[in-house]
């Protein structure tokens, strides 16, 4: 008889998030929106696997025109109950989503979508190779017609 008090162990789905762990330098394009004027930016991203391997915790700081312009704190995990990846996203705009983004892998891309009263956001993280990933954040009022808000290429800092 199994001990029901044994702690669960991370699944392969949790381990797959390690592709984004590390320190990264990003070249980004910010698209004009109701929040900001568009333009190029750079970003410094630090992400680590934490809490017994169940979570990827990611912090980023974006710089535009020599000043910090945007910062994020993301917590990624795999929810074994509903068999979906989750992203709990917090940023320097101060909005708090009513629920985490949810989604899964399509090939080499992790796609997560979240909704709020302001509309829908889609985060797409594409693994290019061990030292590079692409990311884009898109917005849609109806979760059908997506417009880019931010795109970036991130290279591992060794």
Query: Domain for residue 7, yes or no?
Result: no
pLDDT of residue 21: 98
Per the listing, tokens 């985060």 go with: 123
- Does 5 reside within a domain? no
pLDDT tens for 101-135 read: 999 999 999 999 998 777 889 999 999 999 999 99
Please write the tens of the pLDDT for every residue from 67-105. Answer: 999 999 999 999 999 999 999 999 998 877 779 999 999
> Per the domain annotation, does 6 fall within a domain?
no
- The rounded distance, in Å, linking the Cα atoms of 117 and 98 is 9
Q: Is residue 142 part of a domain?
A: yes
- For residue 37, the Cα-to-chain-centroid distance in whole angstroms is 22
Domain count for the chain, please give it. 1
Any domain includes 140 = yes
Does 113 fall in a domain? yes
CB 76 within 8 A of CB 125: no
Query: Would you say residue 100 lies in a domain?
Result: yes
pLDDT of residue 116: 78
Q: Rounded distance, CA 123 to CA 113, Å? A: 6
In this predicted model, which residue has the larger pLDDT, 7 or 18? 18
Share of the chain above pLDDT 70, in %: 97
Q: Please give the span between the terminal C-alpha atoms of the chain, in angstroms, as a whole number.
A: 47
CATH number at residue 63: 2.40.128.20
Residue 55, Cβ density class (10 Å: 0-12 exposed, 13-18 middle, ≥19 buried): buried
The boundaries of the domain holding residue 30 are 12-156
Note whether residue 145 is domain-resident: yes
Is the predicted pLDDT of residue 3 greater than 60, yes or no?
Answer: no
């Amino acid at each position: 008889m199994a001990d029901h008090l044994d702690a669960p162990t991370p699944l392969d789905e949790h381990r797959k998030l390690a592709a984004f762990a590390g320190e990264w330098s990003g070249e980004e394009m910010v698209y004009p929106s109701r929040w900001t004027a568009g333009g190029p930016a750079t970003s410094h991203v630090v992400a680590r696997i934490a809490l017994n391997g169940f979570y990827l915790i990611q912090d980023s700081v974006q710089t535009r025109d020599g000043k910090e312009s945007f910062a994020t704190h993301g917590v990624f995990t795999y929810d074994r109950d509903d068999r979906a990846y989750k992203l709990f996203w917090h940023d320097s705009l101060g909005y708090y989503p009513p629920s985490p983004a949810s989604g899964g892998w399509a090939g080499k891309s992790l796609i997560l979508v979240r909704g709020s009263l302001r509309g829908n956001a889609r985060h797409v993280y594409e693994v290019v190779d061990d030292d590079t990933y692409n990311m884009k954040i898109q917005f849609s009022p109806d979760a059908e017609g997506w417009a880019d808000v931010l795109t970036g290429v991130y290279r591992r800092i060794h």
